[in-house]
């Protein structure tokens, strides 16, 4: 049986040195999202209702393809952290919380995988 107090167990170990990691990444992606999503909105407005060939030609442009991929990566990173905070704020049952946190990451990666594959296919294969 361990007789040490909870404080005694952690004393002297120091911090994990990543206490502000989420805070920082949320701000970093937020800053990136402003120009990236402005581009995204303008792109969608320009090509809304346009013929398939026009949309494919636009997305095949290297600049557009790379920026579109950055939109996806930055936005998904941002929203994944955001949803994690929401889950941690409202879900207090340990088991459900862990499942939801896992699903959150799976969702972000699944959406990201699908988006990036589609962008790369459009860029390389049309």
Q: Which residues bind other proteins (CB under 8 A)?
A: 6, 27, 30-31, 33-34, 37, 41, 45-46, 48-49, 52-53, 55-56, 59, 68, 72, 75-76, 79, 82-83, 86, 111, 114-115, 117-119, 121-122
Are 36 and 67 contacting, i.e. CB atoms less than 8 angstroms apart? yes
Distance CA 36, CA 66 (A): 11
For the four alpha carbons of 45, 63, 52 and 119, in that order, the dihedral sign comes to: negative
Of 70 and 111, CB closest to other proteins = 111
Q: State the minimum distance, in angstroms, from the CB of residue 81 to other proteins.
A: 10
Six token digits for residue 86: 């929401």
Q: State the minimum distance, in angstroms, from the CB of residue 44 to other proteins.
A: 8
């Amino acid at each position: 049986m361990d007789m040490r107090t909870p404080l005694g167990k952690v004393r002297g170990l120091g911090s994990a040195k990543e206490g502000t990691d989420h805070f920082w990444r949320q701000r970093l992606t937020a800053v990136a999202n402003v120009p990236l999503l402005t581009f995204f909105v303008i792109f969608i407005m320009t090509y809304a209702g346009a013929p398939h060939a026009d949309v494919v030609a636009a997305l095949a442009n290297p600049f557009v393809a790379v920026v579109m991929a950055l939109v996806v990566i930055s936005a998904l990173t941002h929203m994944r952290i955001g949803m994690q905070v929401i889950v941690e704020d409202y879900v207090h049952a340990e088991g459900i919380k862990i499942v939801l946190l896992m699903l959150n990451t799976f969702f972000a990666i699944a959406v990201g995988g699908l988006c990036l594959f589609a962008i790369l296919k459009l860029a390389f294969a049309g």
